[in-house]
Structure 1
Amino acid sequence: MRKYKCISQSVFSTENFHIEPIRDSDKYEIMTIRNEQLYHLRQEKLLTLEDQDTYFNTVVKNLFEVNFPSQILFSFFKNNLFIGYGGLVHINWKDKNAEISFVMKTELEKEFLKENWSSFLKLIENVAFQELDLHKVSTYAFDVRPHLYEIFEQNGYKKEAVLKEHVIIESQYIDVVIHAKLNVKK
């Protein structure tokens, strides 16, 4: 199992969920998830096997070799079965904040969206607030899945901003909605 230099442990768990540093063995399932959910990601085109291999061999591999990586990515499991991935991205080490990124297998979204998102948030907050002592984490969501906002708010996130007509999706300008949570244990 890989280990990030900036985190003292590799596995974080709650109930029947856990995260561990992103695994190469999940890279093609991650590619499938991302390609299926392109509409809400900052990804411009469908990923190929070559794209995914290159990303893991360059970007992901390097995250484990530096003290202050720009992102910390995890594979996400329920009952020890891989169901998604995510992490802290756009980490600002100076100002102690990061953005949360998370996607799950597409077929789980309808029935398990709330449970999986809530569990992932709990786990990634443990990394952000306990391990890394970050001050703030935030989400950055294209306004195409408003049902997520209730999940964020039920988990203690406050709506901080709406970036009006900030992105173009299918030739339409779409808002970006940002929710955030502060490290209250400080």
Structure 2
Amino acid sequence: MNEKIELSGIKKADLSVIVKWRNNHDILKFNTQYFLLNMEHQKKWFDEINQKESKSKMFVFKYKNKIVGVGGLIHIDNKNKNADIAIILGESKLHGKGLGTKALQLLVDYGFKKMGLHRIGAEIFEYNEISLKLFEKLNFKKEVEMRDYLWRDGKWWKVLTYSIINLKN
């Protein structure tokens, strides 16, 4: 798939589709915030990410002029030049077509080139095999394995910490 995916600022009009994605069971099971959202939650989040001192830089992913996902850099620590990354490709019919890879690469490039970050981290649940493959494909390295960290579906799961380092700064 050679079509272009691009980052765009989140607008209030995007919030309803983001709530729909986040509340989708197939997406929710991979999120650390394991509760259903409503528009009040989403508007509060929108206000928080748009504050000047926000520790998050969030975007929507656009493909063919339609938003297909949301993601960004969170827990930004400017002093130590690091952040974590979060990504949701909300349109499931587009999964497996390379858009997640392109979207993740855009976020990494933004963090390293625009923000001057040195390290970008990610926490991935051990059962999220698609994300594990995606992050490894983009050269994220496994750092930490937290045993019995997450309780889902009547079972304990590991949470794996991955990171990528900007060797150019």
Q: TM-score, normalised by structure 2?
A: 0.89
5 Å-filtered alignment, 1:1-186, equals: 16-36=4-24, 37-56=27-46, 58-62=47-51, 65-66=52-53, 69-108=54-93, 110-112=95-97, 115-186=98-169
Identical aligned residues as a percent:
25
C-alpha contact (below 8 Å) 2:124/2:132 kept by paired residues: no
Letter in 1 for 2:121: S
C-alpha displacement of 1:32: 0.8
Count of paired positions: 166
Unaligned runs of 5+ in 1: 1-13
169-178 vs 47-56, which deviates more? Answer: 47-56
C-alpha contact (below 8 Å) 2:121/2:162 kept by paired residues: yes
Letter in 2 for 1:21: G
- Report the secondary structure of 1:95's partner residue: coil
Output the CA distance in 2 between the equivalents of 1:124 and 1:107.
Answer: 20
C-alpha displacement of 1:169: 1.3
C-alpha displacement of 1:88: 0.2
- Report the secondary structure of 2:36's partner residue: coil
Deviations along 1:135-168, one digit per CA (max 9) or x if unpaired, are 1001111122123222212211111121111111
Letter in 1 for 2:16: Y
Unaligned runs of 5+ in 2: none
C-alpha displacement of 1:97: 0.8
Residues 1:128 and 1:161: Cα distance change in structure 2 (over 3 Å): same
Output the CA distance in 2 between the equivalents of 1:142 and 1:60.
Answer: 25
C-alpha displacement of 1:78: 1.3
Deviations along 1:15-68, one digit per CA (max 9) or x if unpaired, are 611002222111111111111121111223211122223332x31332xx23xx
C-alpha contact (below 8 Å) 1:86/1:101 kept by paired residues: yes
- Report the secondary structure of 2:68's partner residue: strand
